[in-house]
Amino acid sequence: MDPRPTIMEVVRKIVHIDADAFFASIEQRDDPGLRGKPVAVGGDSARGVVAAASYEARRYGVHSAMPSRMARERCPGLIFVRPRFNVYREVGEQLREIFHRYTDLVEPLSIDEAFLDVTEPKIGPPSGTLIAREIKAQILRETRLTVSAGVSYCKFLAKLASDWEKPDGLTVFTPEDAQKIIDPLPVEKIHGVGPKTAQKMHGLGIRTGRDLRELSEEELVAQFGKLGSRYYWLSRGVDERPVDPNIVRKSVSSEETFDVDLESVEELLEVLPLVVRQVTARMERHGVTGRGVTVKVKLANHEIVTRQLLLPLPVRSAVQIEQVASYLLRTRFTLAQPVRLLGVGVYELSQGVMMQPPLFDELVLPTR
């Protein structure tokens, strides 16, 4: 067995900061008339998508990447606000500047979220909890926005802690807390466990962190490959991943699995806008654009087919992503089987601002 350290030997101080309903909170900050009301940032057209929702809107079940029409059905009084991505980016830069006052070990996860390793801070007290409290106060004072913070000795638990008490929370998980937090945790909350893996775990009778912990590393590796070793250690509160300031996101994607297999490209084109909306919402949150578009389909026989196109300039809207994905579906796919899953991804990412139609000309795509 891998002789890794126990949680009691780990002394890092990791802080996870996540802004509260970032886009929507900025809009409520800048327009007092929106405060206390359900707000969605995004387009309210038939093909619009929610980029962010205020906490008032979330009480109705409205969330990011949701089609605007569905959001309106759930919350008839929902107020739609057109996004101002340049403003969000400016505020995101303010947050990062505050983070870097305390440490150079800042790993951004999105425009409004980051890990910080404050084991050896540049300024401030030698306490992760006190530094997190200072950062929260600095952000409130300088941006008039609240953030939630999680503090622990590893990234897994720091992220979990920041989600524990939102909005405006500060939660600390010590090594002594780790096992009692992880044991009852649904496996869906374990880092790296996606919906498909969770479904497989449920089929094996694995539903909680305790269930994972009761299995040997060999048993988990036999079921989940190399990830099984990660799950083994995470269920014991061991996560050695460093805070990496140089980490680069390679792609942003979304997938939709169908209840009934689709038989034709025309049927795929009908559901394509939904998948594209979800991708666009994620790109907006991460503050990125990309030059490449990938389309993936999973056939009824479980075969996966992907096609991609690299463009000379970044795509900057859902309209452009849908145009490229539609082109790929029409010209690069021959469906020998019905389709049970459609995925769209954007790669070759760079920092940039997504825009809204009708500010763009159509892309010029190859004839084949």
Q: In the predicted model, what is the mean pLDDT of residues 198-209?
A: 96
Q: In the predicted model, what is the mean pLDDT of residues 274-286?
A: 84
Residue 244 lies inside a defined structural domain of this protein: no
Residue 55 lies inside a defined structural domain of this protein: yes
Q: Are residues 132 and 256 in the same domain?
A: no
pLDDT at 6 over 70: no
Residue 257 lies inside a defined structural domain of this protein: yes
Q: In the predicted model, what is the mean pLDDT of residues 206-221?
A: 96
Q: Are residues 89 and 190 in the same domain?
A: no
Residue 243 lies inside a defined structural domain of this protein: no
Residue where the block lists tokens 């009084």:
77
Q: Are residues 335 and 320 in the same domain?
A: yes
Q: Are residues 36 and 66 in the same domain?
A: yes
Q: Are residues 338 and 229 in the same domain?
A: no
pLDDT at 10 over 50: no
Show which of 145, 174, 203 is a domain's final residue: 174
Q: What is the pLDDT of residues 316-344, one digit of tens each?
A: 888 899 999 999 999 999 888 999 999 99
Q: What is the pLDDT of residues 219-262, one digit of tens each?
A: 999 999 999 999 999 999 999 999 999 887 889 999 888 878 89
Residue 127 lies inside a defined structural domain of this protein: yes
Q: Are residues 189 and 158 in the same domain?
A: no
Residue 43 lies inside a defined structural domain of this protein: yes
Please give the residue range of the domain that contains residue 193: 179-234
Show which of 122, 147, 174 is a domain's final residue: 174
Q: Are residues 35 and 14 in the same domain?
A: yes
Type of residue at 321: I
CATH number, domain of 322, equals: 3.30.1490.100
Residues designated catalytic? 113
Show which of 151, 174, 197 is a domain's final residue: 174
Q: How many domains does the chain contain in total?
A: 3
Residue 368 lies inside a defined structural domain of this protein: no
Q: Are residues 169 and 21 in the same domain?
A: yes
Residue 91 lies inside a defined structural domain of this protein: yes
The pLDDT assigned to 71 comes to: 93
Q: Are residues 106 and 185 in the same domain?
A: no
Q: Are residues 212 and 298 in the same domain?
A: no
Q: Are residues 149 and 218 in the same domain?
A: no
Q: Are residues 116 and 261 in the same domain?
A: no
